[in-house]
Amino acid sequence: MKSCWIDGQPATGLPVDDRGLAYGDGLFETIKVVRGKPQLLERHLQRLDEGCRRLAIPLDLPLVRAELLAFCGELDTGVAKLTVTRGAGRRGYAPPHPCSPRRLLLGSSLPAYPVQNGQTGVRLFPCATRLAEQPLLAGLKHLNRLEQVLARAEWQDSAYAEGLMRDSSGRVIEGVFSNLFIVRDGVLLTAALQRCGVAGVMRAELIECAQQLGVAVVERDLTYEELLAADEVLLCNSLYGIWPVVALAGHTWPVGVLTRKLQAAIADLSSVS
């Protein structure tokens, strides 16, 4: 299953002068779609809107929303990848004034992750690729993703479902395609994202969920030692929800009580949405 719309019309090719290709000058959202309904829709649109604001890409949010909903209706169940680029450009980095951002929608089937990932937990590969520290781009789901490409290329062994990414100072940040949380003494902690990392929509959802369950959530710098000393470790993203982490480089963690509680809360949520 592969369908594609560009600017609301079925399309197969992106104009070759698009700045999304030339410079990675754009943003994307990877959205789970169940029976025509995009999950966590408002969070995805809000992050996209915020990203466009930070990159000074003018976004027609009502139009994006309408196109996305129509696209998801046709897709029914699967993944809708929504990309917004700054659109066509002449040669050179200077953003065109005025610019006409381009909207791409690409449909695919749901990824076939092993169901055990969520049940018995996953092993993390310790990626050597570090995340560079760039406050101007931190948190954004932009199209400059070579670090993730390099990190994901570090392992082929399917025994590792994800990889751990640290920043160039060694802080624990996230997975290659997931956010990471640790639990210590009943508190849920996740990396602050001022210097690098992606502010995932499931990360935001999970933080709110935990707070509603009465769990304290702290966003701050996390050391590798804190990760190793954690009571529980978990990963999340908008497609698979939550995976417990049970092993990394010789260290092991149990699948914890709070992880199970959060999985249940997330599952309840998607059954009512």
Is residue 179 a contact point for its own copies (CB under 8 A)? no
The binder of its own copies chosen from 9, 35, 115, 146 (CB under 8 A): 146
Could you give the CA distance from residue 29 to residue 46 in angstroms, rounded to a whole number? 11
Nearest CA-CA partner of 228 in 247, 215, 206: 247
Q: For the segment 80-109, give every residue that binds its own copies (CB under 8 A).
A: 81, 83, 85-86, 90-95, 104, 106, 108
* Cβ atoms of residues 67 and 80 within 8 Å: no
CA–CA gap between residue 267 and residue 258 (Å, rounded): 14
Q: H or E element: which one contains 146? A: helix 146-152
Closer of 39 and 148 to its own copies (Cβ): 148
Identify residues 26-85 at the interface with its own copies (CB under 8 A).
28, 30, 55-56, 79, 81, 83, 85
The verdict on whether 174 is a catalytic residue reads yes
Active site residue 141: yes
Q: Which of 7, 8, 22, 224 binds its own copies (CB under 8 A)?
A: 22
Residue 81 annotated to the active site: no
**Quick check: 123 binds its own copies (CB under 8 A)?**
no
Which residues are 248's β-sheet partners?
Answer: 124, 251
Of 77, 66, 63, the C-alpha closest to 31 is 77
C-beta closer to its own copies: residue 84 or 210:
84
Near its own copies by CB under 8 A: residue from 112, 115, 136, 272: 136
* The residue type at 151: A
Q: Which stretch binds its own copies (CB under 8 A): 4-12, 67-75, 229-237, 253-261?
A: 4-12
Q: Does 194 participate in binding its own copies (rule CB under 8 A)?
A: no
Q: Which amino acid is at 149?
A: V
Q: CB atoms < 10 A from the CB of 94, how many?
A: 8
Give the separation between CA 30 and CA 27, rounded to whole angstroms.
10
Q: Which of residues 211-240 bind its own copies (CB under 8 A)?
A: none
- CB proximity list for 148: less than 8 A, separation 6 or greater: 165, 176, 177
Residues that bind its own copies (CB under 8 A): 2, 4, 6, 11-25, 28, 30, 55-56, 79, 81, 83, 85-86, 90-95, 104, 106, 108, 111, 129-130, 132-134, 136-137, 142-153, 168, 176-177
Residues tagged active-site? 30, 141, 174
